[in-house]
């Protein structure tokens, strides 16, 4: 895993999740009780984007598609359809006020961190060309 700059800490406001894409990985940042947390930005159930949305109480993240609820502190599924835990990444704020997150290399990503085809192609590329096949790239 490599520490990657994701966003200015000033953008990560309390109570709301903020979605970013870094090197093809969807990253969800949120601030809970003054702590910045980072998780995968795609639901492990249906690869639905998990932000930007209001957080539930205690930093819980709810998937808009099927109602899966995850704990942002450890990624555990709280309720909803059976699915794996949400990947959680170490996050820190550097001396320049930027949020840095330890992200996996594309070959280390769990399926929920990848696009609907199972590769590391970005969701924005998929939305731009949803009929493309995996071998057509992004």
Q: Where are the beta strands (DSSP E) in 9-85?
A: 18-22, 25-32, 35-40, 60-62, 69-71, 77-79
Domain count within the chain: 1
- CA 12 from centre of chain: 14
3-class DSSP assignment, residue 59: helix
Residues of the domain holding 98: 2-124
pLDDT digit string, tens, across residues 76-112: 999 999 999 999 999 999 999 999 999 987 666 655 5
Closest CA to 38 of 77, 81, 68, 5: 5
What is the pLDDT, as a whole number, of residue 106?
65
25 occurs within a structural domain: yes
Class of residue 33 by CB neighbours under 10 A (exposed 0-12, middle 13-18, buried 19+): exposed
What is the pLDDT, as a whole number, of residue 96?
97
CATH code of residue 85: 2.102.10.10
Residue % of the chain over a pLDDT of 70: 76
9 occurs within a structural domain: yes
13 occurs within a structural domain: yes
- CA 119 from centre of chain: 16
Residue % of the chain over a pLDDT of 90: 58
Q: In what order do the strands lie in the sheet with 98-103?
A: 2-8, 98-103, 91-93
Q: What is the largest CA-CA distance in the chain?
A: 44
- Residue identified by tokens 């998937």 is 63
pLDDT digit string, tens, across residues 9-30: 999 999 889 999 998 889 999 9
Q: Between these two residues, 99 and 46, which has the higher pLDDT value?
A: 99
Q: Between these two residues, 121 and 114, which has the higher pLDDT value?
A: 114
pLDDT digit string, tens, across residues 51-78: 888 888 889 999 998 999 999 999 999 9
Cα separation values, 107 from 28, 91, 112, 116, Å: 20, 21, 13, 15
Q: What is the pTM of this model?
A: 0.77
């Amino acid at each position: 895993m490599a520490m990657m700059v994701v966003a200015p800490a000033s953008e990560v406001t309390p109570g709301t999740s903020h979605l970013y894409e870094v090197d093809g990985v969807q990253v969800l940042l949120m601030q809970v009780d003054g702590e910045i947390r980072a998780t995968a930005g795609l639901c492990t159930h249906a690869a639905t984007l998990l932000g930007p949305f209001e957080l539930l109480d205690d930093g819980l993240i709810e998937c808009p598609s099927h109602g899966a609820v995850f704990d942002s502190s450890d990624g555990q599924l709280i309720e909803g359809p059976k699915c794996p835990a949400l990947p959680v990444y170490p996050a820190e704020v550097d001396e320049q006020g930027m949020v840095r997150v330890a992200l996996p290399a594309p070959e280390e990503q769990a399926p929920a961190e990848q696009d609907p085809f199972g590769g590391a192609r970005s969701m924005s590329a998929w939305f731009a060309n949803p009929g493309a096949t995996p071998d057509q790239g992004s």
